[in-house]
Every structure is written in C-alpha cells, then in structure tokens.
Chains A and B, each alone.
Chain A
C-alpha cells in the first residue's frame, strides 16, 4: 500500500488505480486473507482430508490408495470400542471432579476472597506456566510405588499394602483432573464475578433460605460459566493421551493413545484418520449445540478468560 498516491490525489476523488470507496471495501479483505488462508489450508482442509485418508487401503510399505473403504468406520469403532468408551468415562469423571473442586474455589474467589482475590487468580494460573510434560512426570514421582504419599496412604490403610496408585485408572483420571482444572475454574469465576449480588440479598430479604437463593439465583446466573467450563474441560480431556501414557498402562489407554500409536508407531493411517474424524464429528456436534445455546462469541471469550 502506498500513501504517496493519496497525497497527490484530492480526498474523495479517484486516486491511483483504486477509488477510495473500492479501497475501503478491499481493506478488510486484505487484512483477513493471510490469516484466513492459514486456517483454511492448515486447519480446515486437513480436518476434512482425514475423511479422504480414512477411506484408503494399503500398508505402510507399499503405500495407501483410495478405495472408498467405508467399512473402516464400523470396523474401527468395534475394534476400539473399549478405548472409545473409556475416553468418555475418564473425561466425564474428570469433568465432574473438576467441577466439584473448582466451583467452591471459583465461588470463594468471586465473593469471599476480598483483597486476596487477585493472588488466588494468579495462583490458579501460575502452575500452568511450567511445562505440561514436566508436571505430568512430577505426578509420576508423587504416585510412584515407593513415594512418601503412597507410603503414608498405606500406613493409614487407605490403600492395601500391596496396592498402588501409579498405573491405575485413578492416577489417569486424577492427572486429567489436574491438567484441566483451570479451564473449569476461570469461566466459572468470570460468570460468578459478573453476577449482581443484590439479587441474592433481595431473595433472602423475601425470606428465601440461603440454599434456595443459591439454587434459584446463583446457579442459574452462573449457568453460562458452568456450561463453558464443562465444555472446555470435557473436549480437551476426551482427546488427552499424555496422562494415560505416563500415569497409566495399556489397560488405561484412551482413544488419543490409539490415534497416536496408529499414526506414529504402527503407521496404519486409515484407522487413525477414521478415529480422529469420528472424534472431530462428535466434538463439532457438541460445539454446534453449545453455540446454538449460548453463542460462539461468549463461548470463545470464556475460552481465554
């Protein structure tokens, strides 16, 4: 863009090869095209191309050719139904655990923390500036068979003498809960903090009990935050494979582990592509339903709140 042309041409009259009006119409286009192209070429097309790859047949050595093998979908679903169900179960349990841990924390930060509020917010975010992998390895250290915590739990009898924490479903779900807790807490906090507290006072003045006021005023007003929090926890949790890999065994593998090993180890691309395409369709369905209910803008703002 040259500003020289503009200096010689009088304002509002045709200047250079473009009129001012046309230039104004083209400006948003020029601004948006590079970023948009990046997302189309490296996000949208790859996601759709998963469908194309999934229908191919062949083997890693001789290559794969398109054969419209739709049977890959029922086949991979039945072969990996165990991991698919486990993903839903682990992600669901972890989301509930995140809510149980996170809601009182968000409530406390929004209404009771007073001058400690910003410190608490900082403390919730800070651990996530350490590498995720290093944190998960640290959980290995904490849960390993001869660690202090496992020893202490054995002494008080919470786990049997030959019991263990590492390499169990509990460890994997706890790891996922730990990883995604801030994704639950921050949207909850944002929606509670925005709330008009005088409504609760009005309710109690009108003889509602504390519990009724909480149930009828606070919870509905926190609704969008709860919704966003559940979504932001559940969706990434369902695709997680790091926790199952580092804190579990193949008995705890989730669908993410299958996609990872099918793509990177076994190189059975069609199966991996089919599974990841299925996951994307499920996630898109969830997001579409959510967007219809609360709107994409609120959803995306909650994501980076």
Chain B
C-alpha cells in the first residue's frame, strides 16, 4: 500500500535523479551555447551576443582542421586493428579450451583497470628505452593497446549469448571451420562488432592522457584543445564538439531504427519455426 510518505519519497527520488542528469548536461549546454558566442578577442568565457560566424567557418583556426583529421584517421585505424585482433582473442577465449586462457582473460582486462597516466607514462618510458621516435605510429600502437580490452569484452559477451548449436550444426553438415566462421559466426556477431567498433572509435577519438605522453609532434583534437586552453579555446572547438555530439545522436537513432526493423523481422520469422521442430 502506498502511503503519502512513499509518494513523497518517490517524488524526491525523481527530483534528485532529474537533478543528477541536469548536472551531467550543464557543461554540454555551455559548449553548445558558446559555439554561438560572438566573442571579441581570444577568450570565449563570457557571453557577448549571438552569431553564426563560427558555424560558417568551423576550421577557421590554424591547426584545428589538421588536428581533427589526424584524430579521425587515428580513431579509424585504431578501430580496424583493435576489432580484428579483439574478435580473434574473444573467439579463442569463448570457443576454445586451452592452457593460459584464464591468464589471457586477466591480461586483456588489466589495461582497462590501469590509470591512464600509468598507461601513458609506462609506454613513453618504453619508447624512450627503445629509442622510438614518437608520432602517429606510436599513437596507433598506444590506442590499440587500450581499446583492445573493450573490444574483447564486448565481443565476448555477444559470443557467450550466442547459440553454439548453430555453429555445431553447420560443421555437422560438412562446413569446415573457416566456412562456419564466415557464414555463421561472423554474421551473428555483426551487432557485437558494430558496438565494439563504435566504442573503440569513441574512446580513441576522445583520448587525451595517453596521447599527451606519446604523441611527439603529432597533434590530435584533444591535444589541440588542451594546447589552446592556455591562451583561450577558440569557439570553433565548441562548433566541432557540438557537431560530433549531433553525429553520435544521429547514429543512435539509426541504430534504434535498425534494431526495431530487426525485431519486427524476427517476429515474422519466429512464427513458422516451431513447425520445423527446432
């Protein structure tokens, strides 16, 4: 039975939760708002009127375009390498029994639990010891290292939820392991691969700490913003950040649409299956 006290408690809980979400969005609101700020001079800290001029010229600051392109390329290359390596590791962890499986699972997880400053510093120390020149290549190496674990965990969860009998059925019907992988496992894994790719792309493009240590002369978008923060971050940075957020929201809607369509299709196909006795 709900007493007035219960109702009061529930509404307090609701108010608190909405408050927490508002707290999360306060800086987002400021970022979007100040992308329209008609600022005079270097600083973009006080509101001085509405303008669209930064949106008309998003790369109107020296170095910003280069940094942005570097970040996109870095994130794309990182994602491709990390997803290929990660799918293989996840397959080995879930579908095979071998010695050292537990230890490998632990090693995959450890970078996620290591403070970023330690990841960055350790890798820099190692590159210095080896005499590596730091730049785009060392950034790719570093980014694959810290996104790999996220890929493996995402793919592993998907693989564990998959019905292993479908793969066994394919092999019983004479498909070899490679054909089974190509025609059964990978298509069923596709949503997991998509999720893992999005995750590693998002983590890579936003990385500051590890890049700060290992970039050398290469400038990524977060490094550009950090460098600019000492002399005042130009409003164009807000424009790019807002545009990237809008892009993510768009992707989420597209994904939602796909999921709805897949769910509908599955509902249609599910009805006749009991007749097949599966």
A residues apposed to B, CB below 8 Å: 1, 3, 6, 11, 25, 27-29, 31-32, 34-36, 38-40, 42-47, 49-50, 52-53, 101-102, 104-105, 107-109, 112-113, 120, 122-124, 126-127, 129-142, 144, 146-147, 178, 181-182, 210, 231, 235-236, 238-242, 246, 256, 259-260, 263-264, 269, 272-273, 276, 279-280, 283, 287, 291, 296-297, 299-301, 303-304
Ordered by A's residue number, 10 sampled pairs between the chains whose C-beta atoms are within 8 Å are A1-B178, A27-B177, A31-B92, A35-B148, A42-B123, A50-B125, A126-B245, A131-B221, A141-B44, A272-B121
- Bound Cα distance A192, B149 (Å): 25
Q: Are B86 and A35 interface neighbours, CB within 8 A?
A: yes
Using known A-B contacts A120-B17, A146-B46, determine if residue A300 contacts B153 with beta carbons closer than 8 Å. Answer: yes
- CB pair A36–B110 under 8 Å, yes or no, is no
Contact A133 B157 (CB under 8 A): no
User: Which residues of chain B (78-105) have a CB below 8 Å from chain A?
Assistant: 85-86, 88-89, 91-93, 95-96, 98, 104-105
B117 on the A face (CB < 8 A): yes
- B258 interfacial contact with A, CB 8 Å: no
Cβ-closest chain B residue relative to A47: B122
B48-56, B57-65, B206-214, B269-277: which one contacts chain A? B206-214
B183 → A minimal CB distance (Å): 13
Q: Tell me if B267 is interfacial: C-beta within 8 Å of chain A.
A: no
**Chain B residues with a Cβ closer than 8 Å to the other chain, count:** 93
CB distance from A200 to the nearest CB of B (A): 13
B-to-A contact residues, CB < 8 Å: 6, 10, 13-14, 16-17, 20-21, 23-28, 30-31, 34, 44-46, 85-86, 88-89, 91-93, 95-96, 98, 104-119, 121-126, 128-129, 141-142, 144-145, 148-150, 152-154, 157, 174, 176-179, 199, 202, 205-206, 208-209, 212-213, 221-222, 225-226, 229, 233, 237-238, 241-242, 244-245, 248-249, 252
Q: Are B13 and A112 touching (Cβ within 8 A)?
A: yes
Closest 7 CB pairs of A and B: A239-B115, A138-B27, A46-B126, A28-B96, A35-B85, A46-B122, A31-B92
A175 (CB) vs chain B CBs: closest residue: B27
**When the two chains form their complex, are residues A280 and B114 in contact, meaning their CB atoms are under 8 A apart?**
yes
Indicate if the CB atoms of A120 and B177 lie closer than 8 Å.
Answer: no
Are A236 and B116 in contact, CB atoms less than 8 angstroms apart? yes
Give min CB distance, A184 to chain B, whole Å.
Answer: 11
Main secondary structure of the interface of A (DSSP, over half): helix
| Most B CB within 10 A of own CB, among A32, A102, A140, A263 | A32
> Bound complex: CA of A104 vs CA of B18, how far in Å?
10
- Which of A104, A123, A235, A246 contacts B25, CB < 8 Å? A123
* Closest CB in chain B relative to A224 CB, distance in Å: 16
Q: CB distance A246 to B116 under 8 Å?
A: no
Q: How far is the CA of A239 from the CA of B213 in the complex (A)?
A: 14
